[in-house]
Amino acid sequence: GMPAIPGPLPTRPRCLSAIFGSPGRRILFVRALEDGFYPEEVDGWRLFLFKGRSVFRLRDDLAFRVAAGVDDPNIAMCVRAGRYGRLTPLVVDLPHGGYGEGETLEIVVFLAGTPAYNALRYPDVDA
């Protein structure tokens, strides 16, 4: 038959993780308006440190930060490559590394139910 799925990899004890763990990945983010507008300059953007690579955990963290007061917020995250880079939906876990000096991931967050969010989901359909 088929072999069993292996269990999770062992993790370091918390005391060692605190000593030898990475400081976290810099996440610079902004919430887009309903029409999709967001400031190109990072002056109005917010920054936090994120540990790990999980796109699901990052989504939960960002949803909590941008949708205060919204029950069960659903969001889409798009990575921006450079100041005027094309937005690309973030749907896979983050790469290893990214903890070096000056390395920052820029993310534009779209709330579900907005025209901008729908345009991401159905780019060829006029609403």
Can you name the residues that pair with 106 across neighbouring β-strands? Answer: 28, 80
Global pTM? 0.75
Q: Return the pLDDT at 124.
A: 62
pLDDT tens digit string along 55-68?
Answer: 989 998 999 898 76
Which amino acid appears at position 117 of this protein? Y
Which has more confidence, 15 or 83?
A: 83
Domain 23-121 has CATH 3.40.50.720: no
pLDDT tens digit string along 69-97?
Answer: 666 678 999 998 777 778 889 988 888 77
Look at the alpha carbons of 18, 55, 57, 70 in this order and tell me if their dihedral is positive or negative. positive
Q: Find the angle CA(84)-CA(87)-CA(93) to the nearest 5 degrees.
A: 130
**Structural domain boundaries in the chain:** 23-121
